[in-house]
Amino acid sequence: MDRVPILKIGPVLLVSIQVDMQDQVALQLQEDLGERIVATGAKGVIIDITGLDIVDSFVGRTLSTIASISRVLDAETIVVGMRPAVAITLVELGLSLNGIRTALNVERGMELLSRSTEPDSPDEFDLDLDDLSETTSP
Amino acid sequence: MTTVVGAAQLQAIVSDEDVVRVRQLVRTAAVTAKLSLVDQTKVVTAASELARNTLVYGGGGQAEVSTVDNGARRGVRVVFSDDGPGIADVELALTDGYTSGGGLGLGLSGARRLVEEFELNTEVGTGTTIAITKWAR
């Protein structure tokens, strides 16, 4: 079975779906992402669906589930690269991608994520591991 | 009168992979029938929903994909059939949000919205046949 690769770029996990996914592949991605978020402490997930020529209710539901799982694990999901024909079809199908943020492309998605994670870490330098061990060790 | 152009393609639906194959066959037929990109996307999406239903609810079956011509326009016709349990309440099954499984309940109702022609024949204990047609504009 194919697996969708998950790349780590800084605090973000990038998933680019390039294959016509079987349902099992989509479910596997859901599991893999959860594990990678926990393993890497990623704060954001970008799912690039430029390569998908359709999004049916199963894939749509999987994307929503991934977003929910990520949120529980303290990471935000942004779906990018949806083709216009796919967007039109999704709406007519009656699928609302609940809880999913979208952006036009990977670049905009990255911008969105860095903006939404910035206010959380204004004291980034104070939260260095070194500082932490100094204040907790004595 | 609607006539079939070329040979109809038969695809068994017994696994996830077959759902992908049905999508690819429908895409090819839609391109042949010169459907617009949006219409191709709609009919492939509808076929994906119905192929999955055939697999999950019908216990497997088959899809017959053909390019059709009604004299004025070309289109794609896909007939899904299974020997599964059938649908007891068609009205209910076609309601947005209703599902007898774990899905979103958009498969049947959504697929119907995405195509021009949608014929459903079902008999409890015998099986279900759904024929859809999407015409080029």
Using a pLDDT cut of 70, give the percent of chain B over it: 99
DSSP A81: -
Residue B131 pLDDT > 90: yes
- Considering only CB atoms, which chain B residues are within 8 Å of A88? 38, 41-42
Q: Three-state DSSP class for B64? A: strand
- Chain A residue closest to B108 (CA)? A93
pLDDT recorded at residue A124: 44
ipTM of the complex: 0.90
For chain A, domain boundaries: 6-136
Segment among A12-16, A125-129, B3-7, B40-44 with least mean pLDDT = A125-129
Whether A2 contacts chain B with CB within 8 A: no
Which residues of chain B does A92 touch, with a Cβ-Cβ cutoff of 8 Å? 42, 110, 113-114
Superfamily of domain B3-135: Histidine kinase-like ATPase, C-terminal domain (3.30.565.10)
Q: What is the pLDDT of residues B90-108, one digit of tens each?
A: 888 888 888 876 677 788 9
A15 and A81 in contact (C-beta within 8 Å)? no
Residue A19: closest C-alpha in chain B: B20
Q: What is the mean pLDDT of chain A?
A: 86
Q: What is the predicted pLDDT for the residue at A119?
A: 56
Looking at residues B45-71, what average pLDDT do you find?
Answer: 95
Do A78 and A102 form a contact (C-beta atoms < 8 A)?
A: yes
Closest chain B CA to residue A58: B103
Rounded percentage of chain A residues whose pLDDT exceeds 70: 84
**pLDDT at residue B8 tops 80:** yes
Average pLDDT per 10 consecutive residues for chain A, totaling 138 residues? 90 93 93 96 96 93 94 96 95 86 95 78 46 45
- pLDDT in the model for residue B33: 95
What single-letter DSSP state applies at residue A124? G
Question: What pLDDT shows up at residue A82?
Answer: 96
Tokens of A19: 């294959």
Chain B positions in Cβ-Cβ contact with residue A84 (cut-off 8 Å): 38
* Contacts of A131 by beta carbon, 8 Å cutoff, 6+ apart: none
| pLDDT score, position A134 | 46
Which CATH architecture fits A6-136? 2-Layer Sandwich (3.30)
